Structure 1
Amino acid sequence: LSSEEQEILEAFDKGKLKRSKKAADTQKRHQKYAEAMFKKDARINIRLSSKDLRGLQKRALAEGIPYQTLVASILHKFVEGRLHENNG
């Protein structure tokens, strides 16, 4: 753990951390996002370059998730307006 993470863990263990007043609302909102993202009721087939596929697989491995889940997450975020192209 980094020193910041260790500090947070120690504060948690000592009971010094308090739940945010908005925590329940945030949790409900994120639960809806997760349900929407993981509801898989349609199938698509796309062609990618081998380089892009390997890149996706490496990123997914780093995140600890299947690459198909990563692709679905990226598409979902884009559709929801939470993922934008960086032109810089």
Structure 2
Amino acid sequence: MKHPPLNQEEQDWLDSYERDEWVSINNAETRKKYQAIAQSTLHAERQVKISLSERDWTLIQEKAMREGLSYQAFMRSVLHKYITGRLTEHPGT
């Protein structure tokens, strides 16, 4: 399967990796968290296509990056937490 060309952000991540700027995770709790995220990514059962405003898309990418996740994993995590009741709206929002 041929992959689409990388966008600038993806190319920056790849370049960073190739410059050996990444370090292994030594913290067992953090490692377990990311293993669970990776595992859930492997078991995706349905694909959903949605349209987002440019502003929302940018915010999602920024938040995902701060969390150390791909935007897909971040969005999947947010949706899962919301539908399972672990993520709720703040009063007044």
Normalised by the size of structure 2, how large is the TM-score? 0.53
Unaligned runs of 5+ in 1: 1-26
Instruction: Provide the residue aligned with 2:90 in structure 1.
Output: 86
Instruction: Provide the residue aligned with 2:64 in structure 1.
Output: 60
Unaligned runs of 5+ in 2: 1-31
Larger Rg: 1
Inter-partner Cα distance in structure 2 for 1:70 and 1:49: 17
**Number of residue equivalences:** 58
Question: Comparing both structures, which one devotes a greater share of its residues to helix?
Answer: 1
CA RMSD, aligned part only?
Answer: 2.3
Instruction: Provide the residue aligned with 1:41 in structure 2.
Output: 45
Indicate conservation of the 8 Å contact 1:60/1:66, yes or no.
yes
Of the two structures, which has the highest relative contact order with CA contacts closer than 8 Å and spacing of 6 or more? 1
Indicate conservation of the 8 Å contact 2:61/2:71, yes or no.
yes
Give the direction of change, closer, same or farther, for the CA distance of 1:65–1:44 in structure 2 (3 Å limit): same
Q: How many Å apart are 1:50 and its aligned residue?
A: 0.4
Aligned match for 2:74, one of 63, 70, 74: 70
Normalised by the size of structure 1, how large is the TM-score? 0.56
Q: Percent identity?
A: 33
Give the direction of change, closer, same or farther, for the CA distance of 1:37–1:84 in structure 2 (3 Å limit): farther
